[in-house]
Amino acid sequence: MNFELKPIGLVGASTEKCDALVLLVPQDFKAGKDDLSELVGQALKSADLEAKPGKLLSLYKPAQAHATRVVLAGAGSGSARDVRAAVVAAVAAVKSPSLKKLLVCFAAPAQEAAVRAAVMAVADASYAYTHTKSKPEGRTLSKVLVGASNATEVQTTFDRAVATVVGAEMAKEWANRPANHATPTLLAQAAQELAKLSKISCEVLGPKEVAKLGMGAFMAVAQGSDQPLRFIVLKYSGAAKSQAPTVLVGKGITFDCGGISIKPAPEMDEMKFDMSGAASVLGVFRSLAALKPAINVVGLIPACENLINGQAVKPGDVVTSMSGQTIEILNTDAEGRLVLCDALTYAERFKPTAVVDVATLTGACVIALGGVRSGLFASQDALGNALFAAGETAQDLCWRMPLDDDYAEGLKTGFADVANVGGRAGGSITAAKFLQRFTEKFPWAHLDIAGTAWKSGAAKGATGRPVGLLVEYLMAQAQNK
């Protein structure tokens, strides 16, 4: 799907030949003298159209436009939130096999955040998963024009949004694939494909290399599966080698049954999404290849399955992590933190400016924040504030959670240096406190995306989050260099 930004208003929109025109009408709309403006003005005056977000008036081949279908969509205040609601509703109204070319036009000068929201919303509303369908009904929409009278002012934001879409859709694709189509080996191959793009390189470590590194926690999780683990190292080199990188760590549990601490059967199929952190790291690198910022980024993905066989780790087993710290595994379903802790130790060799890990880590975070905001934990306020601000800008929201030392009390054990769980209370925080033990040598943040990485029910599928947040954060870091 190709996006293009055009410097047009209502007059230009009326002459554009396309399958559908979505006209975003704000609540302070002022009609001009052209035919399309007068049509909008009349619709508002008669109350056939309301400017509230998501309110629509659909027309078929109106004389005032060259588009086959025209949807007048209320855009409220013109904010990112209101524009997203308008675009999602409008695309749903015009979505059909015949929709190949779409024009989304702002009826008034567009805010930068609204342009970003419009691009992301068109992509989300038209996305279709097809990989494992025998008769796929994929996306027919191939060309999207975004019209804004102030196009020059919002071009940079538009370009970033388009690049973010590419990355988010890669993340969606891999997170949506079932576990037998997204094994650790296949995930590593996807990373190696990224290395064909500009400025990206990839190294994949197997069981022997991981054992040599002493990643005992990672290996303990993987030993219950017949699928060999993979440790993926991606590098984006956009700056001088002397410039310290930002490291992204993505949890890559390609399927999680919980191990011997097995999960309940209902909705266990959704544990294919447990590698959404890894998928988001892949997506970010795809976006970086398009944007080419002057920054260095490393992506680390510990990928394996958490299953049960005769070799599977048992509750009460003690393993030694790459850092040398011993861990008593009280619950084998708290495996994400075990693979991440070794990846965090590995990150030390890059002497990073910051490390951000991304993981579908705890059900407790879903209880705390639901599906609206990801949980954000940060060891330094500057890093936490930067990630929070990036999420607000990208409308990929997060919320800062505490890291008080008192929360680590539950991780104490008499049989190892630390236990891998600390009880039900504050579960997302104790998980973060566990990870923090392995981050003393760099600024660190943790994004718990268990509630935001996918949707359940009729709309079941990956969201592509937090690719938008991470891309915005990295671009801000590049601009501040």
Query: Is residue 159 included in any domain, yes or no?
Result: no
pLDDT in tens, 28-66: 998 888 999 999 999 999 999 999 998 999 999 999 999
Over the chain, what is the mean pLDDT? 97
Separation CA 426–CA 405 (nearest Å):
12
Query: Is residue 242 included in any domain, yes or no?
Result: yes
Q: Which residue segment(s) compose the domain that 97 sits in? A: 2-149
Separation CA 136–CA 79 (nearest Å):
35
Query: Is residue 62 included in any domain, yes or no?
Result: yes
Query: Is residue 162 included in any domain, yes or no?
Result: no
Residue 381 buriedness (CB in 10 A; 0-12 / 13-18 / 19+): exposed
Residue ending a domain, choose from 96, 117, 149:
149
Query: Is residue 32 included in any domain, yes or no?
Result: yes
Of 354, 251, 237, 344, whose CA–CA distance to 297 is shortest? Answer: 237
CATH at 94: 3.40.220.10
Of 103, 32, 116, whose CA–CA distance to 73 is shortest? Answer: 103
Chain center to CA of 133: 24
Are 469 and 327 in the same domain? yes
User: Mean pLDDT, to the nearest integer, of 254-268?
Assistant: 97
Report pLDDT for 423.
87
Are 392 and 246 in the same domain? yes
Are 51 and 8 in the same domain? yes
Query: Residue 108, Cβ neighbours under 10 Å: how many?
Result: 20
Are 142 and 182 in the same domain? no
Separation CA 154–CA 243 (nearest Å):
30
3-state SS string for 353-369: CEEEEEECCCHHHHHHH
Is the model's pLDDT at 137 over the cut of 90? no
Separation CA 7–CA 66 (nearest Å):
18
DSSP three-state, residue 309: coil
Are 37 and 179 in the same domain? no
Separation CA 190–CA 409 (nearest Å):
40
Is the model's pLDDT at 481 over the cut of 80? no
Are 138 and 242 in the same domain? no
Structural tokens at position 331: 């619950």
Report pLDDT for 150.
96
Are 276 and 393 in the same domain? yes
User: Mean pLDDT, to the nearest integer, of 162-169?
Assistant: 98
pLDDT in tens, 96-135: 999 999 999 999 999 999 999 999 999 999 999 999 999 9
In angstroms and rounded to an integer, the radius of gyration of the C-alpha atoms of the chain is: 24
Q: Is residue 148 within 8 Å of 106, Cβ to Cβ?
A: yes
Are 93 and 186 in the same domain? no
Residue ending a domain, choose from 149, 164, 185:
149
Are 101 and 179 in the same domain? no
Query: Is residue 161 included in any domain, yes or no?
Result: no
User: Mean pLDDT, to the nearest integer, of 211-224?
Assistant: 98
Of 344, 340, 335, 342, whose CA–CA distance to 271 is shortest? Answer: 335
pLDDT in tens, 73-105: 999 999 999 999 999 999 999 999 999 999 999
Separation CA 1–CA 143 (nearest Å):
6
DSSP 297: E
Number of independent structural domains in the chain: 2
Identify whether 177 is a catalytic site residue. no
User: Mean pLDDT, to the nearest integer, of 408-422?
Assistant: 97
CATH at 177: 3.40.630.10
pLDDT in tens, 171-193: 999 999 999 999 999 999 999 99
DSSP three-state, residue 461: strand
Query: Given 6, 55, 199, 263, which residue is catalytic?
Result: 263
User: Mean pLDDT, to the nearest integer, of 147-170?
Assistant: 97
Residue ending a domain, choose from 134, 149, 164:
149
Identify whether 286 is a catalytic site residue. no
Q: Is residue 452 within 8 Å of 394, Cβ to Cβ?
A: no
Query: Given 69, 101, 177, 337, which residue is catalytic?
Result: 337
Separation CA 167–CA 289 (nearest Å):
9
Report pLDDT for 376.
98
Are 128 and 186 in the same domain? no
Q: Is residue 157 within 8 Å of 460, Cβ to Cβ?
A: no
Query: Is residue 401 included in any domain, yes or no?
Result: yes
Are 252 and 142 in the same domain? no
Query: Is residue 382 included in any domain, yes or no?
Result: yes
Of 438, 227, 441, whose CA–CA distance to 342 is shortest? Answer: 438
Reported as a pLDDT band with limits 50, 70 and 90, residue 248 is very high
Are 424 and 288 in the same domain? yes
Separation CA 120–CA 393 (nearest Å):
13
Report pLDDT for 303.
98
User: Helix crossing, 80-94 with 112-126: angle to 10°?
Assistant: 30
